[in-house]
Amino acid sequence: MDNTNEAKNWLNSNNNPSPLATNKFENKENALEFVEKLCELGAEEVTVDGIRDEEERIQKEGGPYADALKVKLPEDPEKRKSLFDFVNSEVDDPEFQQEDTGQKEITLWWD
């Protein structure tokens, strides 16, 4: 399996009830809501990264698990600001705040 997949499709097709960053989202529905919000705010693409798809995990949990998203950023300054504001509002530790430095994408990772 490729280590990067389109996030909404990956979440929707995954039988794991908590396939993404359980400590942040708790369940698939919350993770999907977060991804949809990123898209609504202007993310050009959201992909899943850090996929763990060991056979034992899939048998035990029902599907693969991941702990990161890659967000392809738009060029539009207003959309970028909205995305960074949203992402930073979801961060508990100020040390992990994202800064817009003109990058093309950001990685969101949860431990």
Say what the pLDDT of residue 3 is.
42
Give first-to-last CA distance, the chain, whole Å. 22
Say what the pLDDT of residue 92 is.
77
Say what the pLDDT of residue 5 is.
60
- CA angle 89–27–9, rounded 5-degree value: 90
Q: For each successive 10 residues of the chain (111 residues), what is the average pLDDT?
A: 70 97 96 96 95 96 96 97 96 88 95 71
